[in-house]
Amino acid sequence: MIIKSAKFISSATKPGNYPPPELPEIAFAGRSNVGKSSLINSLLKRKKLVKTSSTPGRTQLLNFFEVNESLVFVDLPGYGYAKVSKEMRKKWGQMIETFITTRKTLHGVVLILDLRRIPGGQERENLAWFDMNNIPVILAATKADKFSRQRQLVQQKEMAKALGIPLDLIHVFSAKTGQGRDELWESILDLCEI
Ligand code: GTP
Ligand code: MG
């Protein structure tokens, strides 16, 4: 995918502040600190368009980015961040849920997992929830650079088994090396019907 333009549009917490629903949108979800913002930067080949941080809970709003004047990426706050108050976590949850269930231009969600971590009940619940709401999901297992190719495959298999899904539904990815970038773009464009 050649990126001709990528720009920040706006941040929002509630529907009244979402940008006009004009272009197909893809949202990026996952645990806090899993590498969502880095994955977006890598897809867009921009080093700093989206703020990243080694401190979990960095992304706290819905952040909208327009790509090639033809689609919109939405960086979502991470879930499961322990250090914010219960009330904050509930608010984030509601903010994400409202966006995902009401946004007419949302074509799908890239659910980002850490290749080093075998998913559990929380991830299975999330997948079931997306399914129930008829939201197509693309799975990306990031930080693949932490493993050899051989070990990546072992992890990918374990993850697929834990989630009860076919192996090839998990895109192995690295924001650091760009591994898996083209394949992930292909799946995203497919969902957007571009
Ligand atoms: P929140 O917005 O806080 O939920 O975090 P996030 O999911 O957006 O994560 P972010 O992209 O900010 O990255 C978190 C940390 O993981 C940073 O220290 C990144 O440098 C690191 N990281 C992200 N992706 C990769 C990757 O592919 N490989 C490696 N080695 N590190 C990564
Ligand atoms: Mg982030």
Domain range for 141 is 24-192
From the CA of 47, which ligand is nearest? 1
Residue 96 belongs to a domain: yes
Does residue 3 belong to any structural domain of this protein?
no
Cβ contacts of residue 56 below 8 Å, gap of 6+?
32, 33, 78, 81, 83
pLDDT of residue 81: 61
Pocket test for ligand 1, best of 32, 38, 179 (most atoms within 8 A of CB): 38
Q: What is the CATH number of the domain that holds 51?
A: 3.40.50.300
Ligand with the closest atom to the CA of 141: 1
Q: pTM, whole model, 2 decimals?
A: 0.95
**Is residue 185 included in any domain, yes or no?**
yes
What is the per-residue burial (b if ≥16 Cβ within 10 Å, else e) of 91-123? ebeebbeebbeebebbbbbbbbbbbebebeeeb
* HEC-encoded secondary structure of the chain: CCCCCEEEEEEECCHHHCCCCCCCEEEEEEECCCCHHHHHHHHHCCCCCCCCCCCCCCCCCEEEEEECCCEEEEECCCECCCCCCHHHHHHHHHHHHHHHHHCCCEEEEEEEEECCCCCCHHHHHHHHHHHHCCCCEEEEEECHHHCCHHHHHHHHHHHHHHHCCCHHHEEECCCCCCCCHHHHHHHHHHHHCC
Atom of ligand 1 nearest to the CA of 38: 11
Across the strands, what pairs with 74? Answer: 27, 64
CA of 165 to the centre of ligand 2 (A): 26
Looking at the CA of 56, name the nearest ligand: 1
Examine residue 58 and state whether it is found in any structural domain, yes or no: yes
33 CA to centre of ligand 1 in angstroms: 5
Instruction: Answer yes or no: is 9 within a domain.
Output: no
Burial class (CB in 10 A: 0-12, 13-18, 19+), 124: middle
pLDDT in tens, the chain (194 residues): 899 999 999 999 999 999 999 999 999 999 888 999 999 999 999 988 888 877 776 677 899 999 999 999 999 988 766 566 777 777 778 899 999 999 999 999 999 999 999 999 989 999 999 999 999 999 999 999 999 999 999 999 999 999 999 999 999 999 999 999 999 999 999 999 98
Using the mean position of ligand 2's atoms as its centre, give its distance from the Cα of residue 20 in Å: 23
Q: How distant is the alpha carbon of residue 83 from its chain centre?
A: 21
Q: Is residue 7 part of a domain?
A: no
The pLDDT value given to residue 77: 85
Does residue 131 fall inside a structural domain? yes
Output the pLDDT for position 84: 67
Ligand 1 mutation pick, 11, 28, 33, 61, max ligand atoms within 8 A of CB: 33
The answer to whether the beta carbons of residues 75 and 52 sit under 8 Å apart is: no
Which atom of ligand 1 lies at the shortest distance from residue 173's CA?
Answer: 27
**pLDDT at residue 135, as a whole number:** 95
Residue 157 in domain: yes
Residues flanking ligand 1, CB < 6 Å: 30, 32-38, 52-54, 56-59, 78, 142-143, 145-146, 174-176
Counting the structural domains of the chain, the total is: 1
